[in-house]
Structure 1
Amino acid sequence: MRESKVRIGLIGTGFIGDIHADSMKKNQLCELVAVCEEVDKKRGKAFADKYQIPKVYNDFEKMIADPDIDLVYICIPNYLHAKYMVKAAEMKKHCFVEKPLCTTLAEADQMIESAKKNKVKLFYGENLCFAPKYVRLKELIDEGALGKPFYIRHRESHGGPHAKWFWDIRFSGGGAMMDMGCHGIEFARWLLGKPKIKRVLASLGTYLHKKITKGEDDSVLLVEFEGGARAVIENSWALRGGLDDRAEVQGTEGVAFCDLVYGTALRVFTATGLGYAVEKAETTKGWNFVIYREHEMYGYPEELANIIDSLLNNKPPKETPEDGKVVLEAMMAGYLSAKLGKWVELPANLPRNRKPYQLWKE
């Protein structure tokens, strides 16, 4: 890295790309030098203007050929993650890939192998492991304040995703569990010290959005770990009122409750409405929970800081592609469980080239 600074090229100017760009512009150890938007050139130009990014590309291969770029952030639809990551790795670029890692186990292995072959680092995007409130929860567990944890509950729900491609399971790989179950699974693993997953049991349903998706808009996943701890992962695209993200941990010596979104929000009433309250809020008239410093609360700046530290100081990152593969395997087993109506033991003989939803729907 030149001058002890990481130079970043980002592809994807949607919701999550915007979040990451905001963190990059506030970190003095990195520089967002390029953005690529292949679908909407006007949006790409507007994004570059917003964040004062000097280079705008409409062709990913041209961006990754740029010698000024050290690290590529891949913030595009799930089904493109592996293809674009491998291309970047072959150009000797380090890569960050948003959750989920990819949509098949074969792709996961291809990505991991490509990073090793090309001697670049591959970072897996799981921001909850960096959210300050959840980091403090992890510290309490590690110091023994709760005794031995045996039950974790994580809930992340809202009224549905921003981009249209999420609703098409051919592109996303699945519905609400594919979108957000990856958060809860890795969150629970991380809190427990990343033990192996023994088995999973899932229930999936579509309640609110049957007209626009063939995927599930509500899911409940039960995960049992080696050592006996269990986690309940609840996810929904059918929750009215905006994002809800909360956790509960029970241990032999205590219990902790954590409300990530509303625990520090401003409670505001307005008859006219306001500009922005919280992610995916349906309306801002009446009573609102108004969030501030939202990206920091979700952990994105600390996630970026961990990646930069890994690159500049040759340290292992907190979240790895191997973690992403474990999560994908657990979700695939969950979709299979929903079809079979019973527990699925892990490791399982899961198909390597099929997407998670196919294990439930086909």
Structure 2
Amino acid sequence: MYEKMGIAIIGCGGIAEAHCQTVLGKDENIKLYMYDVDYRRAEFLCKKYNASGCFKTYEDVLMSKDIDIVDICVPHDEHVSVVLNATQAGKHILSEKPIARTLAEADMILDAVKSSGVRFFVAECYRFYPSALKAKELIDKGTIGKPFLIQVNSLQFHTPSGWRRDKEKTGGGVLIDRGIHFVNYFRLLGGKVKTLFATFNHDTISAMEGEDTATIQAIFENGATGQLVVSWGMRMFTPFAWMAVYGSEGTMFDMGDGFYVFSANDPQYNDNGKPVRLFDTMLERYIIPEEMQHFVDRMRDGEEFAVTGEEARADLEIVELAARSVETGRAIDLTNE
């Protein structure tokens, strides 16, 4: 249990700054520190967010008695070494997604976490997106009956910068980077995937090495069909639902501006045959502050994290098997994995 805690952010890029703007940088019982291979970046964030100090080497972070937790915000290819060193030093770990580039790397991390006894949370922010949470609640309540089609979409025109263009550093393309958020969303709504077939395209964003568009067609163990589309290569697109779940008794969807539900059987979700708008969404406005608050709360009360290492590994498995499907041109049966 940690009422007071010292947290060192490892890697002072854009996502680190987003973390600083949450409870990590505002709670008077949290002392925040910075480390980056470029010491000037660590100093910059330290001054900007009035942090307690910055370190010149990662070894200094791990040896410091002031540090209870490392917040890993480094490129994907560095996750394994940074996490393994942290476990050896007995530091608890908050790691940005994905857990790793490959399942083999993820298993190394999980083995080290288990043997060391440290706590490990993967920062999958979409698990805290209001529409995701409400949709899961209503599915479990049976508000729309038996779901038979689940669609999740993320369509953008975006050119990644820096290391995110490098397939070796990221472990792939858009699916392992932005897309793994939506894989988690997909699995939250549909449950375990039984079979999947994937396609990758790399026709628009030539500056990146991996795919700029990925699609997954899935069959969940509950019998529902799933469709996932993630793209950075859409120069223009029609209005689309970030999420839609079609059930035997209704439908729910998120258009990015609000979360809507229609139920044939529940009058509170039926406006004379039209869907009811439950709340404004404004995608991504809430989710990083919510996930950081969740992490701090669970460090203080000792309860389980919403996104465990095993959960993050399951997301990565979908990404890895999607790549295998693309390579083989075949559907993948997960019951044989």
State the TM-score bracket (shorter-chain normalisation): 0.7 to 0.9
Change (3 A) 1:7 1:229: farther
Q: Deviations over 1:306-347 (max 9, x none)?
A: 222222111111111101111111111101111221201115
CA RMSD of superposed structures (Å): 2.4
Q: Equivalent residue for 2:312?
A: 324
Change (3 A) 1:292 1:221: closer
CA contact (8 A) 2:159 2:205 kept: no
Cα offset, 1:44, TM superposition: 1.9
Change (3 A) 1:292 1:232: closer
Name structure 2 gaps, 5 residues minimum. 260-279
Q: Equivalent residue for 2:269?
A: none
1:171 equivalent in alignment to 2:169: yes
1:239 is aligned, of 234, 238, 242, to 234
Distance 1:253 1:112 in 2: 41
Query: Residue type matched to 1:24 in 2?
Result: V
1:157 equivalent in alignment to 2:145: no
Distance 1:344 1:94 in 2: 35
Q: Equivalent residue for 1:219?
A: 214
The TM-score with structure 2 as length reference comes to 0.86
Name structure 1 gaps, 5 residues minimum. 265-290, 350-362
Cα offset, 1:65, TM superposition: 1.8
Q: Equivalent residue for 2:330?
A: 342
Task: Show the 5 A alignment for 1:104-253.
Answer: 104-160=102-158, 162-192=160-190, 195-210=191-206, 212-240=207-235, 246-253=242-249
Give secondary structure in 2 for the equivalent of 1:178. Answer: coil
Q: Equivalent residue for 1:274?
A: none
Q: Deviations over 1:74-116 (max 9, x none)?
A: 1111111111011111111111111111012121111111111
Distance 1:144 1:53 in 2: 47
Cα offset, 1:241, TM superposition: 7.4
Q: Equivalent residue for 1:259?
A: 255
Cα offset, 1:24, TM superposition: 2.9
Change (3 A) 1:263 1:246: same
Change (3 A) 1:162 1:52: farther
Task: Show the 5 A alignment for 1:244-323.
Answer: 246-260=242-256, 262-263=257-258, 296-297=285-286, 299-323=287-311
Q: Deviations over 1:114-165 (max 9, x none)?
A: 1111111111121111012322222222222112222211112323355311
Distance 1:18 1:259 in 2: 28
Distance 1:72 1:203 in 2: 36
Q: Equivalent residue for 2:8?
A: 9
Change (3 A) 1:153 1:28: same
2:86 is aligned, of 78, 85, 88, to 88
Distance 2:283 2:314 in 1: 28
Distance 2:40 2:114 in 1: 36
Distance 1:96 1:161 in 2: 27
Task: Show the 5 A alignment for 1:43-82.
Answer: 43-82=41-80
Distance 2:67 2:231 in 1: 37
Q: Deviations over 1:254-295 (max 9, x none)?
A: 1111134x449xxxxxxxxxxxxxxxxxxxxxxxxxx99976
Change (3 A) 1:86 1:161: farther
Percentage of pairs with the same residue: 29
Distance 1:263 1:74 in 2: 32
The TM-score with structure 1 as length reference comes to 0.80
CA contact (8 A) 1:333 1:348 kept: no
Change (3 A) 1:54 1:6: closer
